[in-house]
Amino acid sequence: MSRGAVSRFIKHHFRHFNAATLVDAAEAYRQHLDSGGVMMITLAGAMSTAELGLSLAEMIRQGKVQAISCTGANLEEDLFNLVAHHHYVRIPHWRDLTPQDEQALLERHLNRVTDTCIPEMEAMRRLEGALIEEWTAADRAGERYFPHEFLYRIIRSGKLEPYYQIDPRDSWMVAAAEKDLPIFVPGWEDSTTGNMYAGHCLAGEIKNVHTVRGGIEYMMVLADWYVKTSKQHSIGFFQIGGGIAGDFPICVVPMLHQDMGRPDVPVWGYFCQISDSTTSYGSYSGAVPGEKITWGKLGVDTPKYIIESDASIVAPLMFALILGE
Domain boundaries, the chain: 5-84+123-323
Class level of CATH domain 5-84+123-323 = alpha beta
Burial 198-214 (b: 16+ CB within 10 A, else e): eebbeeeebeeeebbbb
Provide the pLDDT for residue 2: 73
| H/E run at residue 82 | helix 72-84
For residue 13, count CB atoms less than 10 angstroms from its CB and return exposed for 0-12, middle for 13-18, buried for 19 or more.
exposed
Provide the pLDDT for residue 283: 73
Residue of 283, 288, 298, 214 lying closest to 250 (CA atoms)? 298
pTM to 2 decimals? Answer: 0.96
Provide the pLDDT for residue 1: 67
Q: Name residues whose C-beta falls within 8 Å of residue 124's C-beta, 6 or more positions apart in sequence.
A: 80, 111, 118, 192, 196
- Ranges of residues in the chain whose predicted pLDDT is under 70: 1, 285
Provide the pLDDT for residue 324: 97
List the Cα angle 129/187/54 in 5-degree steps: 65
CA-CA distance, 100 to 150, in Å (whole number)? 38
| H/E run at residue 67 | strand 67-70
Q: Which of helix, strand or coil describes residue 256?
A: helix
Provide the pLDDT for residue 122: 98
CA-CA distance, 14 to 150, in Å (whole number)? 42
pLDDT digit string (tens) for 185-238? 999 999 999 999 999 999 999 999 999 999 999 999 999 999 999 999 999 999
Provide the pLDDT for residue 182: 98
Provide the pLDDT for residue 86: 98
Q: Pairing between strand 270-274 and 235-240?
A: parallel
Q: Which of helix, strand or coil describes residue 219?
A: helix
- CB of 86 closer than 8 Å to CB of 96: no
pLDDT digit string (tens) for 225-266? 999 999 999 999 999 999 999 999 999 999 999 999 999 999
